[in-house]
Amino acid sequence: MTENGGGLHVVDHPAAEADGAFPVVILVHGSLDRGTSFARVVRRLPDLHVVTYDRRGYHRSRGALPLAMSLEDHMADLVGIVAGRPSVLVGHSYGGDVALGAAAACPGVVRAVGVYEPPLPWSDWWPRRKGGDMAAEDPATFAEGFFRRVVHDDAWERLPERARAERRADGPALVAELASIRREHSPIDFANLTVPVVLGRGGRSLPHHRRAIDALAELLPTSEIIEFPGATHGAHLSHPDAFAAFVRCVVARGQESEL
């Protein structure tokens, strides 16, 4: 467990056999989430060197200043964690956008990328939120509403009050990143992505999440799609075996790219 130069909370999970296992696998969490959400996935990857972290503004990286105000800020943080090491990046939801952008920003270091249902809100078919400017809302209230919409009302009600307070405290980071990614054009240079990309989606996911994978497959013709039967958006929590297998597939593609 470390804190990197940018004040981020980063956790190293070394391979069980310390034999310099290649590559380093960095897992990137989505909006209103944290690195510990990958715990069950990490336990299924004991032979790999895995790194998890709380993105700037979230959970134990909440004190990392300045607050990340854009996808580019999160990309820069991830590039800093890669630190020139041969790496594979696997991102869930918004973390997938971060992983794709970081891979495009540091070619030659990242060997492969895996993304599970990253949002593409710059696409004209992506659903538009109703109800005014999110930046004008109280961040804590917005975070609670986001959790209720994306996870479920019942899940929120089951959280202990301390956990609810933690999610509300992540509100400023959530509002900043969601507001910044709603653009007319993609902030990711897909033309600069030359490494293998593995795309994941759930068999029971929302239509726009599934469509995002089809759209990325068109942009990245050498990519491949892996379906998670029965899964929805939170597959890293509900289907850790399948998500771990997904990670292993990305690692295999990264190793093949070295041959």
pTM of the prediction?
Answer: 0.94
Structural domains in the chain (count): 1
- Could you tell me if 68 and 77 are in contact, meaning their C-beta atoms sit under 8 angstroms apart? yes
| Burial of 128: CB neighbours in 10 Å, binned 0-12, 13-18, 19+ | exposed
For residue 151, tell me if it sits in a domain.
no
Which residues are CB-contacts of 187 (< 8 A; sequence separation ≥ 6)? 70, 71, 72, 97, 101, 122, 181
- In the predicted model, residues of the chain with pLDDT beneath 50 are none
User: What pLDDT score does 134 carry?
Assistant: 66
Residue 132 in domain: no
Residue 170 lies inside a defined structural domain of this protein = no
Tell me, yes or no, whether 47 lies in a domain: yes
For residue 16, the enclosing domain spans 2-122+188-254
| 95: nearest Cα among 41, 33, 163 | 33
pLDDT at residue 17, as a whole number: 74
Q: Are 119 and 93 in contact (CB under 8 A)?
A: yes
Which backbone phi and psi does 107 adopt, to 5 degrees?
-65, 150
Q: How far apart are CA 72 and CA 139, in angstroms?
A: 21
Say what percent of the chain tops pLDDT 70.
93
Q: Is 248 contained in some domain?
A: yes
60 found inside a domain: yes
Assigned domain for 142 exists: no
pLDDT for the residue 26: 98
What's the confidence (pLDDT) of residue 2?
63
**pLDDT tens-place string over residues 114-162:** 999 999 999 999 998 765 566 667 999 999 999 999 888 999 999 999 9
| pLDDT at 171 (0 to 100) | 95
**DSSP conformational letter for 62:** T
117 within 8 A of 209, measured Cβ to Cβ: yes
Question: Does 164 reside within a domain?
Answer: no
Q: What is the CATH number of the domain that holds 34?
A: 3.40.50.1820
Q: Give tens-digit pLDDT for 206-217.
A: 999 999 999 999
pLDDT of residue 106: 84
* pLDDT the model gives residue 197: 97
Maximum Cα–Cα distance across the chain: 53
